[in-house]
Structure 1
Amino acid sequence: MRIKKSVIWIFGVLIGVLILFTAAVITFGSTVHSDLKGNIQQKLGAFMDKKADANQFNGVVLVAKDGKVLFEKGYGFANSEEGVPNQIDTEFRIASLTKSFTAVSILQLENQGKLKTSDPISKYIANFPNGDKITIHDLLTHSSGVADHLKLTDTTQPITMAAFIDLMRKQKLEFSPGSEYKYSNTGYMILADIIETVSGESYGDYYQDHIFKPAGMYHTYLRKAETKKFALGYENMRKITERDDESQLAGYGDIISTVHDLLKYNNAIQNDKLLSTLQVEKMETGYIDSASWGIFKYGYGWNVADNFISFGRPLIEHNGSLPGYKSDLADFVKDRVTVIVLSNNHGTWNTGELSRELASICLGKRFWFYQKYF
């Protein structure tokens, strides 16, 4: 009888500990933003103001619902030395958000019957090592195995597309195409060359004619010299000296834009103005794991999720990072909640964490501590 009572007592203690632990996790391991007052816009503003003060956020944030702006605000300085503030129309380097523009271009050309994502790149680039084994799909999904050109050239110097391709012809594959995921800026630069070969235009002109203009993006450029209200880059608010020549970022990191233009771009995609519904689905399908445990999968120019990291809602997201700059665009495609973050203060902060927590306020979802690490 004593043994049974002891077992019951131990079991009761364990249940009590479990309840306390669960309560602690819910209380301290997540945020429901119940302290925020007012309507959605006021809640977003209060949260972002506090976040900016705590994390020294410097940049512009936009949150939209159904393609229309809910909240937008600039923080800090576009030029700290001269006291020029970041405003809604400030222009930033968007870094790797550029990749989705390249993916859109490829899918447009496929729709025109000028290429197929299943094509080997040998069809468009002669004498490329293992070009008959590498497909356009492999390049789009970072599974091509091509070497990193940034380790093979002086990135501070200009490079022509022809010289870049010649450089890559001398390299060996790092792994068998399609066998694994390895994030590759180089793959998207090769895609830019294919766009030029197939379209007969420079990839920059192609963007301008087939994406920027149709989407109404009149403050989006490929070169800093064209910008009107450019934000200087900082590292923890210390001015940085830009090193990489813009030609070294072709097809994967050389676009400069604003939050409003990026919202127009995202709206044009989701409203089938740039691609057909089937092509959008193809772009937003996850083909290969791009994060631990398959939390994110990579589509064409986007990370894709539909699990706990995205509150159980379909999400496309991509961030960008260059010296002095960070960016993020997250779109909960079924809910049409869009968050765009452009910053000219690089640091250790996580753009995805900020975007998804802002989205959690709109979605009325609890933001858990583990969501900030992806």
Structure 2
Amino acid sequence: MSRQAQDISQGIRRLESHTAQIMEESNARGIAVGVVDRTGRILYEKYFGLRDAEKGLPINRDTIFGMASVTKSFTALSIMQMQRDGILSVEDAVTRYIPEFTNKNQKENVRLWHLMSHSGGYFPLPRIVVDQTAREMGIADSLEEELIFREDFAEEGIRRVAGRLDAQTHFTGKPGQRMSYCNDGFGLLSDIVRRHSGCGSFSAYLEEHIFKPLGMERSNISFIRNTLDENAATLYTLEDGVWRADRDYENDAFVLHGGGALKSTLGDMMKYAAMYLNEGKSADGTQVIDRDSIEEMCRPRQIVKPGIYYGYGLEMSQMEDMVMVEHGGSLPGVSSNLCFCPQKGIGVIVLCNTMDVPVYSIGTMALRLYCGLSLEVSRPEHTPRSWTEEERRELAGTYCSGEGDQFVITDDGNGGLSMEINKKPVDLKAVYPWQGMVRKKYSDVYLTAFRDESGRVFAARYGSRIFPKV
């Protein structure tokens, strides 16, 4: 056995031990991991746990999982295809394509690229979901008349989402100024695809322009089809301290589908990852998108946190002297991660049927392994500093997200700041002026304050979302 093969073999043992540890810590029921190169050759494929723990059913390459926010790269890719085809430009104002969206309270136009990079200026909003909207309309999902194809359902969804965005009167900043994760923005983008692509629905567009060319035969954005699919994963969700197992793929799903409705398999998603590595071509040479559009999607445009940037439906970070491009997803019963390294031509998919599992840590370790790097991610050690009196005064307060989360910062009276997130205390360290960090087991989360011209803190980004101060 060669030295390289020995290193891979040893690394695989560590990767699988790491995966087992994460499964135990997170009570994860099933995880699928795949590594692929730019030719579509599968370098590693492994299934941990079960797709249905109660029935003892295994996972295989065709098992359906929810993708959640990994969907966003498909939405951005769709927009880039339409730009290539001359249907639109990412520089266009959103109002040009969605008349229900009036942009009435912002001084500058929100453009398509702003939504693609989460920089439309919107604070997080309560989720408008599929099942509640359908109930209020008096309709139901069925195989004969699926919600994803119903024009009346799409029109009601866009009316609700666009109207709510227009109702905001306070913003994170000017369009394009700051990144704050916005599922509604990707919902608008998928409705632009529905209305202006000529396909009649976002689902039909994905099928015709992405799934078929890549041979992704088990991928879709349906709800009921996957609930009824015998090889779809059971979804495991922790609510109020109690685990629930079901196949309710509508649970907490957005009414507009571009933010998180995709369902797919390990086999299909490895084909998708290989397309990015192959500069827009499928394994058989079919041109899905041009090289320039791939580069545009993977160009850093907005800072998420130190060292992490957002492009169009994808995140970028430095991985030694290479780049890691990735996106994760989380919904009830869903934890997912896509990551790839363009320089080495390696892509990784990690899919899980349990909520809140740090699968990105598994994906990053697998990517580093097959790129020939140390498996351990170096995390920054900041020079110790203290909060200034002004920082303590201005940062103290309550910050609430429309998505239901909140954090509270208080002056501890000893020159420091204490922080609680959803009533749970965390250790907030000062790292830079107006910026703190919470060190978690597998990642660091940064808090960054935003101030108005008078110096008052009006909001703070924690993680990928900007919370208004109340």
Q: One fold, TM greater than 0.5?
A: yes
Kindly indicate which of the two structures has a greater share of residues assigned to strand.
Answer: 2
Q: Does 1:136 align with 2:112?
A: yes
Q: Does 1:218 align with 2:217?
A: yes
User: Partners in 2 of 1:41 and 1:259 — Cα distance?
Assistant: 21
Q: Per-residue CA shift, 1:278-329, capped at 9, x if unaligned?
A: 1111111011102x22x11111110012x2xx22212210000011110001
Aligned partner of residue 221 in structure 1, secondary structure:
coil
Q: Does 1:233 align with 2:235?
A: yes
Given that 2:19 and 2:362 are in contact with CA atoms closer than 8 Å, whether structure 1 keeps it comes out as no
User: Partners in 2 of 1:356 and 1:127 — Cα distance?
Assistant: 41
User: Partners in 1 of 2:98 and 2:62 — Cα distance?
Assistant: 39
Aligned partner of residue 259 in structure 2, secondary structure:
coil
Aligned partner of residue 251 in structure 1, secondary structure:
helix
User: Partners in 2 of 1:128 and 1:224 — Cα distance?
Assistant: 27
Aligned partner of residue 258 in structure 2, secondary structure:
coil
Aligned partner of residue 83 in structure 2, secondary structure:
helix
Q: How does 1:247-258 map to 2 (within 5 A)?
A: 248=255, 250-258=257-265
Kindly indicate which of the two structures has a greater share of residues assigned to helix.
Answer: 1
Q: How does 1:55-94 map to 2 (within 5 A)?
A: 55-56=22-23, 57=28, 58-66=30-38, 67-94=40-67
What letter corresponds to residue 192 of structure 2 in structure 1? I
Higher relative contact order (CA 8 A, sep 6+): 1
My pick for the range that moved more, 269-278 or 68-77, is: 269-278
Q: 1:164 to 1:145 in 2, by over 3 A?
A: farther
The equivalent position to 1:278 in structure 2, one of 288, 292, 317, is: 292
> Which runs of no fewer than 5 residues in structure 1 stay unpaired?
1-35
Partner of 1:373: 443
Partner of 2:347: 338
Aligned partner of residue 48 in structure 1, secondary structure:
helix
Q: Per-residue CA shift, 1:83-109, capped at 9, x if unaligned?
A: 111222211001101001101110110
Q: How does 1:104-253 map to 2 (within 5 A)?
A: 104-130=77-103, 133-146=109-122, 148=124, 150-151=126-127, 153=128, 156-158=131-133, 160-167=153-160, 168-170=162-164, 171-172=167-168, 174-175=171-172, 176-200=174-198, 201-227=200-226, 228=229, 229-235=231-237, 238-240=243-245, 242=248, 244=251, 246=253, 248=255, 250-253=257-260
The equivalent position to 1:351 in structure 2, one of 344, 347, 359, is: 359
Given that 2:103 and 2:109 are in contact with CA atoms closer than 8 Å, whether structure 1 keeps it comes out as yes
Q: Per-residue CA shift, 1:45-77, capped at 9, x if unaligned?
A: 422332233222521000123331111011111
Given that 2:273 and 2:348 are in contact with CA atoms closer than 8 Å, whether structure 1 keeps it comes out as no
Given that 2:338 and 2:349 are in contact with CA atoms closer than 8 Å, whether structure 1 keeps it comes out as yes
Q: 1:244 to 1:255 in 2, by over 3 A?
A: same
Aligned partner of residue 347 in structure 2, secondary structure:
strand
Aligned partner of residue 85 in structure 1, secondary structure:
coil
Q: Per-residue CA shift, 1:202-246, capped at 9, x if unaligned?
A: 011000000000011001111143344100111479334546364
Aligned partner of residue 211 in structure 2, secondary structure:
helix
What letter corresponds to residue 136 of structure 1 in structure 2? L
User: Partners in 1 of 2:259 and 2:62 — Cα distance?
Assistant: 23
Given that 1:120 and 1:135 are in contact with CA atoms closer than 8 Å, whether structure 2 keeps it comes out as yes
How much has 1:41 moved relative to structure 2? 5.5
Given that 1:62 and 1:72 are in contact with CA atoms closer than 8 Å, whether structure 2 keeps it comes out as yes
Given that 1:320 and 1:326 are in contact with CA atoms closer than 8 Å, whether structure 2 keeps it comes out as yes
Q: 1:84 to 1:44 in 2, by over 3 A?
A: farther
What letter corresponds to residue 328 of structure 1 in structure 2? N
User: Partners in 2 of 1:335 and 1:255 — Cα distance?
Assistant: 27
How much has 1:263 moved relative to structure 2? 1.2
How much has 1:195 moved relative to structure 2? 0.8
Given that 1:139 and 1:188 are in contact with CA atoms closer than 8 Å, whether structure 2 keeps it comes out as yes
Aligned partner of residue 63 in structure 1, secondary structure:
strand
Q: 1:54 to 1:330 in 2, by over 3 A?
A: same
User: Partners in 2 of 1:296 and 1:100 — Cα distance?
Assistant: 16
Partner of 1:323: 332
User: Partners in 2 of 1:106 and 1:188 — Cα distance?
Assistant: 11
Partner of 2:430: none
> Which runs of no fewer than 5 residues in structure 2 stay unpaired?
135-152, 281-286, 381-441, 445-470
How many pairs are equivalent? 332
Partner of 2:9: 42
How much has 1:44 moved relative to structure 2? 4.8
Partner of 1:296: 308
TM (norm. structure 2) is 0.66
